[in-house]
């Protein structure tokens, strides 16, 4: 297999699965997790099925155990751990969770949502030398805000544009990835693009063409890649999408982050879904 320049992360919440992917590929550069994936972890599912719902503390402790098992399996792209937040969670509350999560493993990236409070939490975090991954990104303006909010970070910050969820609403999700990559050519390189919500081999291969620094991929797509003998895109590769094209915007990365339009319906819906999934595991939903 020709190892791609793009780092490959496993998008999941089950250490067994990560171990299996590592055997399949021979390497795993990193891992991303989120509240929905943690709720699907087999051990958590067994607990819920046996009638035991978790307290908030137990949920954090289970999440900690999961990422501590995954951490040594991951390469230098680290393990992304997402804070539990809803639409009312303040930046300081996210930051407090993030700080605790960052102490769990030596290779943590803390995931904050791409909202005003999430970006404030990210700003506080990078000032403390923490690594961050800004998730639920659906637009170039949001990525520009991530760039501006994390300027000065000593460690690379990740931004995660969600491809599949844009495709689901009839847009060409890969356009956002391509536009962000193009925009960052004018930047200082402190934000790396981590393509997320990957659903197909075509998504994966186009990420290789665009040379996204990282891509997070569900095990079943990696299994397909392995079973087809690890194809790589050739010069003729053309990415085909039936979604509406998303045009490139000329944006000045030196603007303050608050001046970018960071509202996106899918960010709001994404937070709602994460909240619904983790609340379903709790004994006393907030
Ligand atoms: C990873 O960081 C994201 O949370 C994940 O890729 C989302 O994927 P989905 O849209 O398939 O839920």
Q: What is the pLDDT of residues 76-89, one digit of tens each?
A: 999 999 999 999 99
Which pLDDT score, from 0 to 100, does residue 171 have? Answer: 98
> How far apart are the C-alpha atoms of 218 and 285, rounded to whole Å?
28
CA distance 97 to 89: 11
Ranges of H-type helices in the chain: 15-25, 35-39, 42-49, 56-70, 91-102, 116-127, 140-149, 163-168, 173-184, 201-210, 219-227, 265-279
Mean pLDDT of 216-227: 98
Residue ID of nearest Cα to ligand 1 atom 10: 197
Share of the chain above pLDDT 70, in %: 99
Beta bridge partners of 182: none
Find out whether 79 and 31 touch, Cβ atoms under 8 Å: yes
CB 63 within 8 A of CB 98: no
Least confident residue range of 50-54, 199-203, 219-223, 254-258: 50-54
Stretch 253-267: mean pLDDT, rounded? 98
pLDDT of 7 higher than 90: yes
Beta bridge partners of 19: none
Distance, CA of 278 to CA of 55 (rounded, Å) = 11
pLDDT class for 285, splitting at 50, 70, 90? Answer: low
The DSSP secondary-structure symbol of 54 reads B
Can you state the percent helix, strand and coil of the chain, rounding each to 5? 45, 15, 40
Tell me what the pLDDT averaged over the chain comes to.
97
pLDDT for the residue numbered 146: 98
For residue 156, name the pLDDT band (cuts at 50, 70, 90).
very high
- The pLDDT value recorded for residue 286 is 62
Half-sphere exposure of 41 (CA within 13 A, CB side): 24
Is residue 104 predicted with pLDDT exceeding 70? yes
Question: What count of other Cβ atoms lies within 10 Å of the Cβ of residue 4?
Answer: 18
Whole-number Å distance, alpha carbon 222 to ligand 1 midpoint, is 15
* Cα 164 to ligand 1 centroid, rounded to whole Å: 8
Q: Which residues are catalytic?
A: 111
CA of 104 to the centre of ligand 1 (A): 22
Overall average pLDDT of the 28-55 stretch: 95
Measured in Å, residue 197 CA sits from the centre of ligand 1 at: 4
Closest residue by CA, ligand 1 atom 5? 197
Question: Residue 60 — very low, low, confident or very high, per pLDDT cuts 50/70/90?
Answer: very high
Q: How far is CA 226 from CA 268, 283, 284, in A?
A: 35, 40, 42
Ligand 1 pocket: which of 173, 216, 269 to mutate (most atoms <8 Å of CB)? 216
Q: Which of 30, 34, 278 to mutate to test the pocket of ligand 1 (most atoms within 8 A of CB)?
A: 34
In a 13 Å sphere around the CA of 256, the CA atoms on its Cβ side amount to 4
Name the closest-CA residue to atom 11, ligand 1: 197
Q: How would you classify residue 170: left for phi > 0, otherwise alpha for psi between -120 and 50, otherwise beta?
A: left
Is pLDDT above 90 for 151?
Answer: yes
* Ligand 1 environment, Cβ below 6 A: 11, 32, 34, 135, 160, 162, 164-165, 196-197, 216
Give Cα 66 to chain centroid, integer Å.
17
- Name the maximum alpha-carbon separation found in the chain: 55
Over residues 165-212, the pLDDT tens digits come to 999 999 999 999 999 999 999 999 999 999 999 999 999 999 999 999
- 59, 274, 149: which is closest to 132 by C-alpha? 149
Mean pLDDT throughout 98-124?
Answer: 98
Q: What is the pTM of this model?
A: 0.97
If pLDDT is split at 50, 70 and 90, which confidence band does 284 have?
confident
């Amino acid at each position: 297999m020709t190892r791609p320049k793009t780092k490959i992360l496993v998008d999941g919440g089950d250490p067994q699965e990560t171990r299996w992917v590592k055997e399949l590929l021979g390497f795993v550069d990193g891992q991303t997790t989120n509240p929905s994936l943690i709720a699907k972890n087999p051990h958590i599912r067994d607990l819920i099925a046996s009638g035991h719902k978790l307290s908030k503390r137990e949920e954090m402790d289970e999440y900690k155990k999961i990422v501590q098992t995954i951490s040594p399996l991951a390469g230098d792209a680290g393990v992304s751990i997402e804070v539990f937040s809803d639409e009312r969670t303040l930046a300081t509350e996210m930051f407090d969770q993030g700080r605790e999560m960052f102490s769990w493993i030596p290779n943590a990236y803390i995931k904050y949502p791409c909202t005003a409070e999430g970006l404030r939490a990210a700003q506080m975090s990078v000032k403390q030398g923490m690594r961050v991954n800004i998730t639920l990104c659906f637009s170039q303006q949001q990525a520009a805000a991530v760039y501006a909010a994390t300027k000065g970070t000593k460690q690379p910050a990740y931004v995660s544009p969600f491809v599949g969820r844009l495709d689901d609403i009839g847009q060409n999700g890969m356009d956002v990835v391509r536009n962000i990559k193009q925009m960052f050519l004018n930047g200082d390189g402190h934000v790396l693009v981590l393509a997320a919500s990957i659903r197909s081999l075509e998504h994966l291969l186009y990420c290789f063409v665009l040379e996204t620094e990282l891509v997070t991929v569900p095990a079943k797509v990696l299994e397909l890649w392995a079973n087809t003998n690890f194809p790589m895109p050739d010069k003729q590769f053309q990415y085909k999408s039936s979604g509406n094209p998303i045009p490139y915007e000329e944006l000045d990365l030196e603007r303050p982050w608050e001046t970018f339009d960071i509202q996106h319906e899918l960010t709001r819906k994404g937070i709602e879904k994460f909240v619904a999934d983790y609340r379903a595991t709790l004994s006393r939903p907030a």
